[in-house]
Structure 1
Amino acid sequence: MQYHAISFAKEGFIVDVIGYPGSSPMREISENTRIRIYYLRPPPEMQNALPRLLYYVIKVVWQAVDISQLLFRKRISGSLIIQNPPAIPTIPICWLYCIVMNTQFIIDWHNYAHSLMALSLGNEHILVNLAKHIEEIFGRRAKNNFCVTKAMKEDLEKTWGIQAKVLYDRPADEFRPITLTEKNEFLQKLAEKYNVSESYSVISKKSGFIISSTSWTEDEDFSILINALQEYENTCENGELNLPDLLCIITGKGPLKDFYMAIVNLKNWKHVKIKTLWLENEDYPKILASADLGICLHTSSSGLDLPMKVVDMFGCRLPVCAYNFDCLSELVRHNENSLVFANEYELAQQLKMWFQDFPNNEKQQQLCEKFQKNMFTSQLYPTDWHGNWKFNVLPCFQE
């Protein structure tokens, strides 16, 4: 949604952004005089003191009141674009505001809220069914709908009769390749600022460097990566394939981080190091551009969305090993622009293939160049975000 705000501002719109505090907004937003930020108040932390359903009801009421007072307090908007998920209570509240204020109501579908909720609650839970009905009812009432894949466009039309326009995610301008000098400077910063001393061996090419980003939720099974790295460690210990030591950095925050890191901390690996970091906005593109290979474990609760992390990695021309699911081929095509795996065994084989005889494997270098050349060729739209946005979104606001 930050990219939407920046593009609207570039085209002369006055933009209000509503969201929760936490991560700092992008500099292009915080320093833009056309963009004003409004922060919601996080609901009270009572989930451990109350039954799950009761806490959820209190949370929804809190959010409904907070969103409503903020919407009606700020200046009146001609259009309101909302990202889904979440659906409850955001979609009904925003729709009501649009009716009262005669404002255009637009939904940007990044996934289905009900499919995400079903991961923890089950498909038959009352809240899952409520979210599904909300998405159907209000999706049909939206002035415009955008979605992130052709598969989702077809599903929205087939399931609910909702007409949507495909708006593929694109990397922002800062997600780009960097020079060797910039890379070495960042790796030194990684050691000094983020206490990753292993980055010095990455500079000297004694170690390979892989990266993954995650929100540590149920739709990403990090045991796949842990087990693949165990196989890599075993191969190193056996002296096979001439493999380098491996630095694996995982960025992001989320509820399952402690669970998976407890498993990692039990490992006594000599050749693989896993570090978890929370990076400043300006450093995230640089770490992607400094890595040798990206890892994506996103499985998609609906099977209809694409991982934004891969989009960002492609912007930095970083090849990826991505977990396969139904519509992934709209972005990642196996052996054409990156690698796709179905289980921990396949991921382990791909890691060993990529880093065998590192950094002097000519076949791997040729494959890397091929992947970099073919990134985004599966999507016949402008490759930069703003060009793609002007082509697909702007016309809907000029009618």
Structure 2
Amino acid sequence: MLGSSWLREGMRVTTVVLGDLGRSPRMQYHAEALAAHEVDVDIVACAGSALHAELRGHPRITCHLLPPARERSLPRALLLPVAAGRAVLQALRLVWVFLVVLRKPDVILVQNPPAVPTLLVTIAAARLRGARLIIDWHNLAWAVLALGIGPRHPLVSLARWYERVLGRRADGHLAVSDALRAELAVRWGIAPVRVLRDRPAERFAPLPDEARRLLRRRLVERLGLAGLEPALVVSPTSWTRDEDFDLLLDAVRRCEALAAERAFPDVLVLLTGRGPRRARFEAQAATLPGRRLHVRTLWLEPDDYPRVLGAADLGLCLHRSASGLDLPMKIADMQGAGLPVCALDYGLCLDEALRHEDTGLRFADAAALARQWIDLLATFPRATEHLARLRSNVEKARGTTWRAGWEAEAREVLLPHA
């Protein structure tokens, strides 16, 4: 009997993500998992941030990088003209890549959002080249658009129609949450959809004590806080519209006021990543009191990011879902590193990633977040009973890694004969 490797001999998968590949960990993980099954992978994505070490130089993975989109905050009146021009240019580049550059794929795996122009171009490419098209639904693109131009704008209705009609024409579907799977099935008639949950890669783990101390010391010195030994709260962010930075600034001010009335340690609140809203936030953060809470921003290379999470005391998620149906991968990363997470509560979908008072806490406003910081960090460097219990629960819940989850939930969709 012939083995499964024979069934995949010469198999080729093209993955498409019209965003910064370095900030698209889920699509990088897809490529690594496929390559581990002896599949040749072409990645079509935008250049930008550095890639995971596992991806760089992999003999079965070829990256075809498009020019990066210029990151800038635009007035609402300019959002649509600029986006339309960008979409046309991206469509032309994608058509060129599929017709001229790439070898014939057996499967095309596309991330959604963005839906424009990727869904139209990849559906056409799949039909012309006899490939199966799989959509990995991270969110609903029309809901993300509504954040920028308002939910009542007529283009939002058009975008919803476009996404639904073209989404139905795919040959298979993955989704990040049960809530998103149900939405696609009930409202859009898209089924079956396999849920592939975000899970941490193996490199996300708590650091040993000595490595933790050394990394924290270097970090505070680099950020201009030499001489302090603060508690470390880390918030991974992409600096996009679906994250509530105003709430964070308000929470810092409120926590400073509460800390002035009691003994409270220094706290470093570190926001990682880069994006169009970072400069504005940094200007606002510079006006904070900075008595006990020190807010800093820092871009971390892919190999440093899991180590900083592994050295932290507490995670913070400011994601305010555009659709109420997606789950931020940063929560999985932080939990993989052993961190309880304080997460902005945007609805029932969040239950799939974080259980309140079990693996973290949820907050609805700045006052609640400030109180959580006071409660969890008051006795630093000794952990409060509350924080110790949450950390213990996170450690107990750590289990399935990304690769194991992919094998159980996605392999059958992408490699049906494996």
TM-score under structure 1 length normalisation: 0.91
1:222 aligns with: 245
Change (3 A) 1:266 1:40: same
Structure 2 partner of 1:211:
234
Q: CA deviation at 1:332?
A: 0.6
1:337/1:32 Cα in 2 relative to 1: closer, same or farther (>3 Å)?
A: same
Cα pair 1:91 1:134 within 8 Å, conserved: no
Contact 1:232-1:348 within 8 A present in 2 as well:
yes
Partner of 2:416: 398
1:139 equivalent in alignment to 2:167: yes
For the Cα contact (< 8 Å) 1:222–1:297, is it kept in 2?
yes
Per the TM alignment, residue 126 of structure 1 is displaced from its structure 2 partner at its CA by 3.7
Find the aligned partners of 1:188 and 1:209 in 2 and give their Cα distance.
11
Query: Match for 1:29 among 35, 55, 61?
Result: 55
Q: Does 1:341 align with 2:363?
A: yes
User: d(CA) in 2 for partners of 1:216 and 1:45?
Assistant: 10
- Give the Cα–Cα distance (whole angstroms) in 1 for the partners of residues 396 and 226 of structure 2: 29
Structure 1 position 275 matched with structure 2 position 306: no
Q: Structure 1 residues 185 and 358, CA, compared in 2 at 3 Å: closer, same or farther?
A: closer
Match of 1:9 among 35, 53, 67: 35
Unaligned residue ranges in structure 2 (runs of 5+): 1-26
Of 292, 300, 303 in structure 1, the residue corresponding to residue 313 of structure 2 is 292
Q: Determine which of 94, 100, 104 is the counterpart of 2:122.
A: 94
Cα distance, 1:230 vs structure 2:
1.2
Q: Does 1:350 align with 2:372?
A: yes
Name the SS for the 1:27 alignment partner.
coil
Q: CA deviation at 1:123?
A: 1.8
Change (3 A) 1:303 1:201: same
For residues 370 and 27 of structure 1, what CA distance do their matches in structure 2 show? 30
CA displacement 1:96-142 (0-9 Å, x = unmatched): 00000000100000001100000111123243223212221121111
CA offset at residue 85 of structure 1?
0.4
Contact 1:187–1:199 under 8 Å retained in 2: no
Q: Relative to structure 1, is the Cα distance of residues 48 and 151 closer, same or farther in structure 2, using a 3 angstrom cutoff?
A: closer
CA distance in 2, matches of 1:77, 1:130: 30
Range 355-364 or range 55-64, more displaced: 355-364
Give yes or no for the alignment of 1:154 onto 2:182. yes
TM normalised by structure 2 equals 0.87
Offset at 1:43?
Answer: 5.6
CA RMSD of aligned residues (A): 2.1
- Which residue identity does 1:77 align to in structure 2? P
Q: Secondary structure at the match of 1:335?
A: coil
2:45 counterpart of 1:19: yes
Q: Secondary structure at the match of 1:309?
A: helix
CA distance in 2 between partners of 1:178 and 1:28 (Å): 20
> Relative to structure 1, is the Cα distance of residues 230 and 166 closer, same or farther in structure 2, using a 3 angstrom cutoff?
same
CA–CA distance in structure 1, aligned partners of residues 117 and 74 of structure 2: 22
SS in 2 for 1:318: coil
Q: Which residue of 1 aligns with 2:135?
A: 107
- Cα distance in 2 for residues equivalent to 1:54 and 1:102: 34
Which sections of structure 1, spanning at least 5 residues, go unmatched?
A: 377-381
The one-letter amino acid paired with 1:340 is: R
Residue 200 of structure 2 is matched in structure 1 by: 171
Of 219, 234, 247, the residue aligned with 1:190 is 219
Partner residue, 1:237: 260
Instruction: From 332, 337, 340, give the equivalent of 1:316.
Output: 337
Q: Deviations over 1:51-107 (max 9, x none)?
A: 544333221110100111112221111000001000000110011000000001000
Report sequence identity in percent. Answer: 34
